[in-house]
Amino acid sequence: VVIKSSGMHAVEDYIMSRYQMYWQVYFHPVSRSAEVILTKILHRARELYRAHYTFQYEPTPFITFFEGNPSLAQYIALDERVLLTYFGWWQEEEDPILSDLCERFLNRRLFQFASFDPATDNERFQTLKRLFSDVGLHPDYYLVTDASSDLPYDFYRPGEPSERVPIYLQMQDGSLRELSRASEIVDAISGKRRVDYKMYYPEDWLLRESKHCPKCRTILQHLQP
């Protein structure tokens, strides 16, 4: 991509606004919480299907996905309308995990989040998994780690498998200069992937049960910053 050097400030503004938007909107913990629950709903439905669970409403549009061989047409057909219809039905399922996750998603009763560093928090995470199991919360569905990452701009690295198209500035003398070499702002974030880790969990349930469950209170203490 080649732009005139006079347009550099507009490109800088675009890259920085994209960087900020991703973290404030798409990677906001509340948005991520909804996505975590959405993912876990589908994981639970797939697990139940593979265990030959009898659904009240047969998950026909999902079967090829559960079996790992969907067609492009089936992928396109599985839109928001279909998902929300089934989530509404699945609220009435006898499986308590599927029912609860669907109710949470539809009523925006989302998971709370806590900081998590995979480099230092593994022991804490394993302790929490055991405690979640002890109080009746399946840790695979109710203690979820999530990593959000974004690479706002990367400079050109010829020959790499993930080779990116560079942005060149056309200088007044007609020569070309790669954007990060001409902009201190872009250079400061070039090639720097930002990753944010979180743990998601049902704080509302833990708070309610903590009134008579000592282990729930212990869990909440472990989840404090």
Q: pLDDT tens across 76-99, in order?
A: 999 999 999 999 999 999 999 999
- Tell me the per-residue pLDDT of 150-161, one tens digit each, with 9 for 90 and over: 444 444 444 444
pTM: 0.71
Q: Look at 112-121, 149-158, 175-184, 189-198 and tell me which has the smallest mean pLDDT.
A: 149-158
Indicate whether 14 pLDDT > 50: yes
Indicate whether 188 pLDDT > 80: no
3-state secondary structure the chain: CEEEHHHHHHHHHHHHHHHHHHHHHHCCHHHHHHHHHHHHHHHHHHHHHHCCCCCCCCCHHHHHHHCCCCCHHHHHHCCHHHHHHHHHHHCCCCCHHHHHHHHHHHCCCCCEEEECCCCCCHHHHHHHHHHHHHCCCCHHHHCEEEEEEECCCCCCCCCCCCCCCCCEEECCCCCEEEHHHHCHHHHHHCCCCEEEEEEEECHHHHHHHCCCCHHHHHHHHHCCC
> Between 93 and 31, whose confidence is greater?
93
pLDDT of residue 118: 83
pLDDT of residue 115: 86
